[in-house]
A = this chain, B = another copy of it.
Amino acid sequence: MSTAGQGAPEQANSLAAARGRLVLVPNTLDLGAAAQELSSVLPLAVLQWAARLQYWLVEDAKSARAFLKRVHACVPLQSPLQALSITELPRPAKGRNEPPGPASSAARGSAAAAMSSLLAPALAGHDVGLLSEAGLPAVADPGAAIVAAAHGLGLQVLPLPGPSSLLLALAASGLDGQSFAFVGYLPQDAVARCERIRELEGVSRRMRQTQIFIETPYRNAALMGALLECAAPATRLAVSVGLTLPGGWNRTATVAEWRRKTCGAADLPDLPDRLPAVFLLQA
């Protein structure tokens, strides 16, 4: 197996083989709100990579174009935006909360075949960028299937460094960072959600594992309410809102302390319904 050069684009150019690579390009965490300078959250080399790529596979074409415009303001794009090939990934049928992809290798093979045509530019020698709407592609976001297809085709996959709200929230929480799980979304139904919260507490106790989960922003307050209602008083609960954004905040306290709203100040803010949040518990 050949090795994947992971240096600057210039270096990578000289290493380029007959086949292109799938380059995982991190996005900001502001969901296109342009609330921050790109250089405040992304390394310069990532902006240089993004400015150079001609072929893109993206979660959402509109937000990808907005991202590339912001890149252009920092590092001029090598080709005009209109000249770039920007293709949306197939959307999962049931949104981001669907169960993991097909488990059988036959089904995986079929899905990989469907993905292969999207990777045709890489097979023809062009590096292809993969971009999601926020953070790292393929982490709590679409993209894993296309990455798996790339491996199946023997393409090199090059992940570029960038922010992950999940791990920033974990670092900021003070909860156990040596053992943790990301479990996606909790059920929307109140009874099922309460059961799931208690199940996660059980897993956290049994496996000594921090449990990390997310919610669509407009349900943040409902989830927080459910956590304060259903979780045990001694469970440590961390919330990170608007990570890397102005006005962002995070706080860790026991459920009992959250209930009393005495976590250092009496004026706990309501959870905003527009900013993404990450929730973590350790029982």
Assembled-state Cα–Cα distance A2/B141 (Å): 31
A197 at the interface (CB under 8 A from B): no
Q: Interface readout for A128-147 with B: 1 if CB under 8 Å, 0 if not? A: 00000000111111011111
Quick one: closest B residue to A178, CB to CB?
B184
* Contact partners of A159 in chain B: CB under 8 A: 168-169, 171-172, 240, 243, 250
Q: Is the CB of B42 within 8 A of A43?
A: yes
| Stretch of A3-11, A65-73, A221-229 at the chain-chain interface | A3-11
B166 touches A143 (CB 8 A): no
CB neighbours (8 Å) of A101 from chain B are 176
Residue A6 contacts which of B138, B145, B245 (CB distance < 8 angstroms)? B245
Which of B43, B208, B243 has a CB less than 8 Å from the CB of A43? B43
Chain B interface: which of A52-60, A83-91, A261-269? A261-269
Task: With A43-B39, A140-B177, A172-B147 as known contacts, state yes or no: A3 contacts B248, CB within 8 Å.
Answer: yes
Chain B residues contacting A99 (CB-CB under 8 Å) are 208
Number of copies: 2
Shortest distance between the CB of A264 and any CB in chain B (Å)? 3
- Please give the distance in Å from A130's CB to the nearest CB on chain B: 9
Is the CB of A273 closer than 8 A to any CB of chain B? no
Secondary structure type dominating chain A contacts: loop
Nearest B residue to A136 via CB reads B171
Query: How far is the CB of A127 from the nearest CB of chain B, in Å?
Result: 15
Question: What are 27 contact pairs spanning A and B, CB under 8 A?
Answer: A1-B251, A1-B265, A1-B267, A5-B246, A5-B247, A6-B243, A7-B40, A29-B161, A41-B161, A42-B43, A100-B178, A100-B208, A101-B176, A105-B254, A144-B175, A147-B172, A147-B173, A151-B251, A159-B168, A159-B169, A159-B243, A159-B250, A178-B182, A179-B181, A179-B184, A180-B182, A181-B181
Q: Are B162 and A174 in contact (CB under 8 A)?
A: no
Is the CB–CB distance between B138 and A174 below 8 Å?
yes
User: Do B161 and A174 touch (CB < 8 A)?
Assistant: no
Give the residues from 201 to 258 in chain A that come closer than 8 angstroms, CB to CB, to chain B. Answer: 208-209, 234, 240, 242-254
Of residues 1 through 53 on chain A, the ones whose CB sits less than 8 Å from some CB of chain B are: 1-8, 11, 24, 29, 36-37, 39-45
Name, among A24, A157, A160, the residue most crowded by chain B CB atoms within 10 Å (CB to CB): A157
A157 near B250 with CB under 8 A, answer yes
4 interchain residue pairs of minimum CB distance? A154-B264, A148-B174, A161-B163, A147-B174
How distant is A47 from chain B, measured CB to nearest CB, in Å? 10
